[in-house]
Amino acid sequence: MRTKLYINGEWVDGIGTIAVHDPSDGSIIAEVALAGDAECEAAVAAADAAAVSWAKTAPRFRSEILRKAFEIMTAENEAIATLISRENGKAMPDARGEAAYAAEFFRWFAEETVRTPGDFRKSPSGDKRILVTHQPIGLSILITPWNFPAGMATRKIGPAVAAGCTMILKPATETPLTAMYIVDVMERAGLPKGVLNLILPEKSGPAISKMLHDDRVMNLSFTGSTEVGRIILKEAADKVIRCSMELGGNAQVIVHDDADLAITIPQLLLAKMRNGGAACTAANRIFVQRPIADKFIAELTKSMSAFVVGRGTDAGITLGASVSLKERNKIAEIVDESVAAGGKVQVGGVKPEGEGAFYPATVLTVDKDNPILNHEIFGPVAPVVIFDTDEEGIAWANDTDFGLISYVFSGNLTRALRTAEAMESGMVAINKGVISDPAAPFGGVKQSGLGREGGFDGIHEFLQTKYIALEI
Ligand code: NAD
């Protein structure tokens, strides 16, 4: 297990350590190194020194490093999944899925590295030729959250390597071990020194602020809450640092009265319960049309009752712990507030006694003004609201500041498409519970973020467009 900072190709100590806890029982898994000012400066200097030569490397060279990293991660899926589960708390099926998903970003961007398009045209007036090319934007800061410690790191490292940018990765303090493992994979895959550096600052705010005011830093790729994203955007504004922001969600689900519940319930369970509900894509506000509401609520409640709660690495567990007691208690408070405001518990809803950051799978029926609909729950809690007309369902669903993803269930494709087009979100899933795919553009509108990760767009978050005019 790697527990140190990674700067200029060396694993180094910092100014002290911080404990990483197993959220299932609060025990300490490891002490990891913390970066002070000197380590942060060394990381910037290393990434800056490597930037010019790295940008000039052949795309095929970078592509093969990513391909090798994909192969290592695939071969080591179980070890990576176990580490994710231990420091994050999620159940092994979720952790295995994340480790595989994370590796896929390296495969996808290995393929994208050698296919970056350019353009060569005659200008409309005929006075010149227009050449459009893309160049690596340069030193990039990558900041990741705790909920997908592997997937969110590779979704940034993959395109940064593909584009030819050097990087400083700052993982979440709760889950640095998985990030350290991935950096180790990149080292084994042959990434030159200085290209990727990992820091864990003692105080993230001031350390990242200092970097965003450093002339050597060109780009920021952040995944985390909207609250923190807003602070960082303001910091980045002073030097007009380019920003890609993958922020919070409050995903809406519309279940039309012609939805096939045999498809809807299992898919909705994926949308709600993947990662124990700690996903930016988690189904958070479920709107079901009145004619099928009773049957839907009964079937959802029955399925949610079947989750087996416990330590993520134990056999048979389908719902692990939240990342910390603090996060678990936030979930419990949101449910208690909802119940006090009239929400009716169908199953779950009670914070367990004893150690471990556990919370049971919970279904609540609420009215459309219940406060739970204004929270990104980030836990295994499904609030259900009944609506009547399609127009009402769509209006209620869009009544949020967030716009990452929506889910639509209907047996009628035209109706589903009409609703999908009306959803104010960057992504819409029709009759499907999980749509994240390295080959598709992931990202939100409204306060869910700026930019896209994955797909053909992902590499462009690390490239800048250059137009060259040619007299001819
Ligand atoms: P968070 O915003 O608290 O932290 C995210 C990262 O920012 C962590 O590494 C944290 O240490 C760091 N950070 C915190 N304060 C900072 C500061 N002032 N300056 C610089 N860095 C700072 O988020 P979290 O609790 O780790 O993750 C959950 C959130 O992430 C949820 O809101 C979720 O929706 C969001 N998320 C979004 C996506 C997406 O793709 N849109 C994916 C996963 C998670």
Question: By C-alpha distance, which of 143, 164, 166 is closest to 236?
Answer: 143
DSSP string, 176-227: HHHHHHHHHHHHHTTPPTTSEEE--BSSHHHHHHHHHT-TT--EEEEES-HH
Q: Is 280 a catalytic residue?
A: yes
Structural domains of the chain, with CATH: 5-247+448-471 (3.40.605.10), 251-442 (3.40.309.10)
- Cα 201 from Cα 88, distance rounded (Å): 19
- Cα 359 from Cα 35, distance rounded (Å): 33
pLDDT of 366 reads 98
Question: By C-alpha distance, which of 267, 399, 323 is closest to 89?
Answer: 323
Note if the pTM is more than 0.75: yes
* Residue 144 CB less than 6 A away from ligand 1: yes
Other CB atoms within 10 Å distance of the CB of residue 151: 26
Considering 280, 327, 376, 461, which one is annotated as catalytic?
A: 280
Atom number in ligand 1 closest to CA 171: 9
* Ligand 1 geometric centre to CA of 247 (Å): 7
Considering 87, 187, 246, 453, which one is annotated as catalytic?
A: 246
* Residue 362 CB less than 6 A away from ligand 1: no
- Angle 171-179-144 from CA coordinates, rounded to 5°: 30
For ligand 1, pick from 175, 177, 204, 434 the residue to mutate: most ligand atoms within 8 Å of CB: 204
Task: Say if residue 464 is exposed, middle or buried (CB neighbours under 10 Å; 0-12, 13-18, 19+).
Answer: middle
For ligand 1, atom 40: residue with the closest CA: 246
> Are 175 and 88 contacting, i.e. CB atoms less than 8 angstroms apart?
yes
Q: Is 392 a catalytic residue?
A: no
* Residue 236 CB less than 6 A away from ligand 1: no
Question: By C-alpha distance, which of 24, 35, 108 is closest to 66?
Answer: 108
* Ligand 1 geometric centre to CA of 143 (Å): 8
Beta strands in 22-127 (DSSP E): 28-34, 119-122
Enumerate the H helices of 274-324 as residue ranges: 290-305
For ligand 1, atom 17: residue with the closest CA: 205
pLDDT of 472 reads 84
Atom number in ligand 1 closest to CA 155: 40
For ligand 1, atom 8: residue with the closest CA: 172
For ligand 1, atom 10: residue with the closest CA: 172
* Residue 404 CB less than 6 A away from ligand 1: yes
- Cα 235 from Cα 248, distance rounded (Å): 19
**pLDDT tens, the chain, 472 aa long:** 999 999 999 999 999 999 999 999 999 999 999 999 999 999 999 999 999 999 999 999 999 999 999 999 999 999 999 999 999 999 999 999 999 999 999 999 999 999 999 999 999 999 999 999 999 999 999 999 999 999 999 999 999 999 999 999 999 999 999 999 999 999 999 999 999 999 999 999 999 999 999 999 999 999 999 999 999 999 999 999 999 999 999 999 999 999 999 999 999 999 999 999 999 999 999 999 999 999 999 999 999 999 999 999 999 999 999 999 999 999 999 999 999 999 999 999 999 999 999 999 999 999 999 999 999 999 999 999 999 999 999 999 999 999 999 999 999 999 999 999 999 999 999 999 999 999 999 999 999 999 999 999 999 999 999 999 999 8
DSSP letter for 274, please. Answer: G
